[in-house]
Amino acid sequence: MEFVLVFRRDHPSAVPPLGEEEVLIYRKHWQDWFLSLAARQRLTRPVQRWDAEGVTICSEAEIEDSVTVQGLIFIEAVDYAEAVWIARDCPILLMGGFVEVLQGK
C-alpha cells in the first residue's frame, strides 16, 4: 500500500534559528533517514523539495497559519501500523514537528 507522510511544524519564524553545526546535524539526520528508506525500497516516488512559504486560503480571506507543511514523501508499507512505525523515525520529530500519515486510495 502507498502512504504519504506529511511533515509539519511551527512556521520557521516561530522556531529559534539553529546554529551552523546544528543545521548540519539536522540535515544529516534527514539524509540518513531517506537513505535508509531507499535502501529498504520504501520510497515510491523521488523525494521532492518544497518551499517554506505558502498561503492558506479559506472562504473569507487568506489566513496566517502557524503550522506549515515542511515537505512530504510517498512510501510503501504493508499497512498503517508499518507506515506509522516508519514515520516515528522522521527527523522532524527532533524539531518539535509532527508527521501526518495518510493512505493512498
Nearest-10 Cα torsion for 52, 4, 93, 14: 20
Neighbouring CB atoms inside 10 A of 91's CB total: 19
Residue 47 lies in domain = 2-103
- Check which CATH number belongs to the domain holding 56 and give it: 3.30.70.1060
Return the pLDDT at 56.
Answer: 64
Task: Record the pTM.
Answer: 0.80
The residue-averaged pLDDT of 20-47 equals 92
The residue-averaged pLDDT of 66-78 equals 86
How many domains, in total, are found in the chain? Answer: 1
Q: With pLDDT > 70 as the criterion, what percentage of the chain qualifies?
A: 77
The residue whose grid cell reads 527532533 is 94
